[in-house]
Amino acid sequence: MVVAESETMKPHVAVLPSPGMGHVIPLLELAKCLVIHHDIHVSFLNITTEASAAQKQLLHSPTLPQGLHVIDLPPADISTLVNEETLVLTRLCINVEESLKPLKSVLMELGKLQALVIDLFCTQAFEICNDLSIPTYTFFTPSTAFLAFSLYLPTLDREVECEFVDLPAPVQVPGCTPVRTEDLLDQVRNRKIDECKWFLLHVSRLPMAAGIFLNSWEDLEPVSHKAVTAHPFYQNIPTPPVHQIGPLIKQDEAPETESDAECLAWLDKQPSKSVLFVALGSGGTLTGAQLTELAWGLEMSRQKFILVARKPTDASASATFFNVGGDVSDPKAYLPEGFLERTKGVGLVVPSWAPQILVLRHPSTGGFLSHCGWNSTLESITHGIPMVAWPLYAEQRMNATMLVEEVGVAVKPAVEGGKGVVVREEIERVVRMVMEGEEGNVMRRRAGELKVSAVKALNFGGSSYESLSRVTKEWKAEHIYI
């Protein structure tokens, strides 16, 4: 790695995401923001084991700013530690643990560091950085509400004997909206599984951070923000200083692939706000039965759409988490017979990955059917787009409930009990509601207000800009120029 001399004069910070686009994207945006707006030199440490095609493309893009250096950590061999049955979070945590074995020597080679910023699932770094006297910050990539829940979880774990899902009432997270047991994330639904142990291990180490960055802003989550910064429960933990610095979202300027360009050219031909974008994040995958219902529901709604249609699987709702962007299957093989022909001109089907930010920013896009991953949520709101909330895994059910009941920018379709799927008539109903109903207009106006407030928070003098500036000023004050 060749670093320009001018870079070596600047404060130097390392950033360490765990794998998965939902983690890499926000940490990369933070890294860019530090380089571009705060004049900091950033080394971005990339865990390469099981990195997806989309992740490789993102981190080796020629558009990354000067002063941001991506360093690939040596790939770790985890083949004997995981198998086909290993659940996604366990796999991710084992991958991180093995990949971080050379972290100490990598950090030492980087020279003087002002700080290391890690993702939630990289907490092994705390001890290493303690030995090296490097302050370690956590960038907690989900919502503030989920941070409050996560900080409370070790206490709940000590106080409750039964499964959390069997509690007779919603979980009373201090100072926050109670969490319904049906919205609990999969990782804590069965306390005996490894995923739950890994999750608890990492959240119980959150208090070791020098500070916690959050990809949110006060107007979006005022109640949870007040809780984690002022409620006695969090002060007694004690919770490190919490800095809301969001929304940091991907800032793509141009399509990267031919398929991206086709998608945007198609959007150019559609009327304003007429297209529903349907995408379920990097890991989201539907069962065959559910994909069939979704396709029929879209067709019956008679709305224009872009559908990112991954090959269905009955195995896991997060099946493509580690390999997204690499799938080249032909959607014709798994969509209802004749669907592509009947919806020609009305819809566009993309097999694996779409340029989501460019699609949401496009004036023809009017709605987003999303799995409610936190990045997708922020991306939708900051473009003033109302949502159909279709949560699948991780903390997405909590996000969906918040978006529908507290924020007022989404509608959630009902799942038909007996069948365990959302049926086509229900999909038709919610799609029409968002795209052409008065309810959709109300949600669009609310998203529009939040879009304005997000811009204000990020601009010079805004709450998020100032929160990050306060920390970078501390880093700069401690930096000794050589």
Catalytic residue among 12, 23, 38, 41: 23
Please state the closest distance from residue 364 (CB atom) to ligand UDP, in A.
17
Task: Print burial letters for 47-77: b (CB count within 10 Å at least 16), e (below 16).
Answer: bbbbbbebbeebbeeeebeebbbbeebeebe
In the bound state with ligand UDP, the residue whose beta carbon lies nearer, of 319 and 468, is 319
Please state the closest distance from residue 389 (CB atom) to ligand UDP, in A.
12
Are 43 and 15 contacting, i.e. CB atoms less than 8 angstroms apart? yes
Please state the closest distance from residue 256 (CB atom) to ligand UDP, in A.
10
Residues with Cβ within 8 Å of 344's Cβ and at least 6 positions away in sequence, in order, are none
Catalytic residue among 12, 119, 260, 371: 119
Please state the closest distance from residue 398 (CB atom) to ligand UDP, in A.
13
In the bound state with ligand UDP, the residue whose beta carbon lies nearer, of 216 and 376, is 376
In the bound state with ligand UDP, the residue whose beta carbon lies nearer, of 134 and 212, is 212
The verdict on whether 268 is a catalytic residue reads no
In the bound state with ligand UDP, the residue whose beta carbon lies nearer, of 247 and 283, is 283
Query: Nearest residue by C-beta to ligand UDP?
Result: 22
Peptide bond into 413 cis (omega under 30): no
In the bound state with ligand UDP, the residue whose beta carbon lies nearer, of 20 and 211, is 20
Are 333 and 352 contacting, i.e. CB atoms less than 8 angstroms apart? no
Spatial distance between the Cα atoms of 174 and 53, rounded to a whole number of angstroms = 41
The verdict on whether 119 is a catalytic residue reads yes
Are 116 and 129 contacting, i.e. CB atoms less than 8 angstroms apart? yes
What three-state secondary structure class fits 295?
A: helix
Please state the closest distance from residue 366 (CB atom) to ligand UDP, in A.
18
Are 278 and 353 contacting, i.e. CB atoms less than 8 angstroms apart? no
Are 388 and 262 contacting, i.e. CB atoms less than 8 angstroms apart? no
In the bound state with ligand UDP, the residue whose beta carbon lies nearer, of 21 and 298, is 21
In the bound state with ligand UDP, the residue whose beta carbon lies nearer, of 277 and 465, is 277
In the bound state with ligand UDP, the residue whose beta carbon lies nearer, of 68 and 357, is 357
Are 102 and 76 contacting, i.e. CB atoms less than 8 angstroms apart? no
Compute the radius of gyration of the chain from its Cα atoms.
Answer: 22
HSE toward the beta carbon, residue 140, CA cutoff 13 A: 29
Spatial distance between the Cα atoms of 75 and 46, rounded to a whole number of angstroms = 10
Are 47 and 59 contacting, i.e. CB atoms less than 8 angstroms apart? no
Please state the closest distance from residue 165 (CB atom) to ligand UDP, in A.
22
Are 334 and 300 contacting, i.e. CB atoms less than 8 angstroms apart? no
Spatial distance between the Cα atoms of 360 and 461, rounded to a whole number of angstroms = 27
Please state the closest distance from residue 213 (CB atom) to ligand UDP, in A.
16
DSSP string, 311-329: PP-SS-TTTTTTTTT----
Please state the closest distance from residue 206 (CB atom) to ligand UDP, in A.
19
In the bound state with ligand UDP, the residue whose beta carbon lies nearer, of 70 and 354, is 354
Please state the closest distance from residue 159 (CB atom) to ligand UDP, in A.
30
Strand-by-strand arrangement of the 68-72 sheet: 68-72, 41-46, 12-16, 115-119, 136-140, 212-214, 242-244
Please report, as a single letter, which amino acid is at residue 88. Answer: V
Q: Which residues bind ligand UDP (CB under 6 A)?
A: 20-22, 25, 250, 279, 281-283, 308, 353-354, 356-357, 373-376, 379
For residue 50, give Cα distances in angstroms to 21, 77, 431. 12, 10, 35
Active-site residues, by number, are 23, 119
